[in-house]
């Protein structure tokens, strides 16, 4: 499932309004999230996002980093396309975190009990780390903290003794 490519612009700092005609087929099939392809200035960015309805209009959050990646300024018109999100967690799981969970079923079992939003937050935290070894180290730390009963997102990436 995918939408046609359509024009959008930034409204305010981080919001894009989505045409209901493009979002409706996703919502009707029970999809609250989508994979999104944004294109501007011959640059393309693929990410996952929530299709939220606020004040009667569908909106998508579009971070400052994504704006910079596409060289966008408020009011610039660019193109979006929505695709069905086929990922398990609404975002791609980093290989490093997946490998840690494969080797630690206890931590993975606890991770699976978290809310979808908390799972995505942990995944995004690991994905933001550029260095592969640091990703592995942080994934191992999170795994150990989960097993110690720490579930607060602010505490999961800290060393606890």
* pLDDT, tens only, 41-75: 889 999 999 999 988 999 999 999 999 999 998 88
State the pLDDT at residue 161: 67
3-state secondary structure of 18: strand
- The contacts of residue 59 (CB under 8 Å, 6+ apart) are 15, 16, 17, 18, 52, 53
**Domain containing residue 75:** 6-84
Q: How many domains are contained in the chain?
A: 2
Confidence bin at 13 (pLDDT 50/70/90):
confident
Give the burial string for 118-147 (b: 16+ CB within 10 Å, else e).
ebbebbebbbebeeeeebbebbbbbbbbbe
- The stretch 116-121 carries a mean pLDDT of 89
Could you say which of 52, 84, 116 is where a domain stops? 84
pLDDT cut 90: percent of the chain above it:
65
| 77, β-bridge pairs | 9
Residues 99 and 76 in one domain: no
- The stretch 8-33 carries a mean pLDDT of 91
pLDDT cut 70: percent of the chain above it:
99
State the pLDDT at residue 11: 82
Residues 80 and 10 in one domain: yes
Q: Is the dihedral of CA 86, 88, 94, 96 positive or negative?
A: negative
pTM of this structure: 0.75
Distance CA 138, CA 74 (A): 35
Q: Does 89 reside within a domain?
A: no
Residue from 35, 52, 31 nearest 44 by CA = 35
Residues 77 and 100 in one domain: no
Residues 24 and 71 in one domain: yes
Q: What is the CA radius of gyration of the chain?
A: 18
Confidence bin at 109 (pLDDT 50/70/90):
very high
Residues 108 and 62 in one domain: no
Confidence bin at 158 (pLDDT 50/70/90):
confident
Could you say which of 84, 109, 130 is where a domain stops? 84
Distance CA 136, CA 138 (A): 6
Q: Does 148 reside within a domain?
A: yes
Residues 14 and 78 in one domain: yes
| Mean per-residue pLDDT over the chain, rounded | 91
Residues 79 and 28 in one domain: yes
């Amino acid at each position: 499932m995918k939408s046609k490519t359509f024009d959008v612009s930034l409204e305010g700092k981080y919001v894009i309004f989505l045409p209901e005609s493009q979002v409706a087929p996703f919502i009707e099939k029970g999809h609250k999230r989508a994979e999104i392809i944004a294109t501007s200035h011959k640059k393309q960015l693929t990410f996952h996002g929530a299709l939220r309805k606020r004040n009667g209009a569908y909106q998508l959050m579009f971070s400052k980093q994504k704006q910079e990646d596409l060289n966008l300024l408020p009011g610039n018109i660019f193109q979006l396309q929505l695709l069905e999100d086929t990922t398990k967690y609404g975002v791609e799981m980093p290989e490093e975190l997946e490998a840690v969970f494969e080797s630690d079923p206890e931590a993975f079992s606890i991770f699976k009990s978290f809310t979808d939003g908390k799972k995505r937050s942990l995944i995004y935290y690991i994905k933001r780390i550029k260095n592969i070894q640091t990703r592995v180290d942080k994934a191992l730390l999170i795994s150990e903290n989960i097993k110690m009963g720490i579930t607060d997102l602010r505490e999961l990436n800290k060393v606890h003794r």
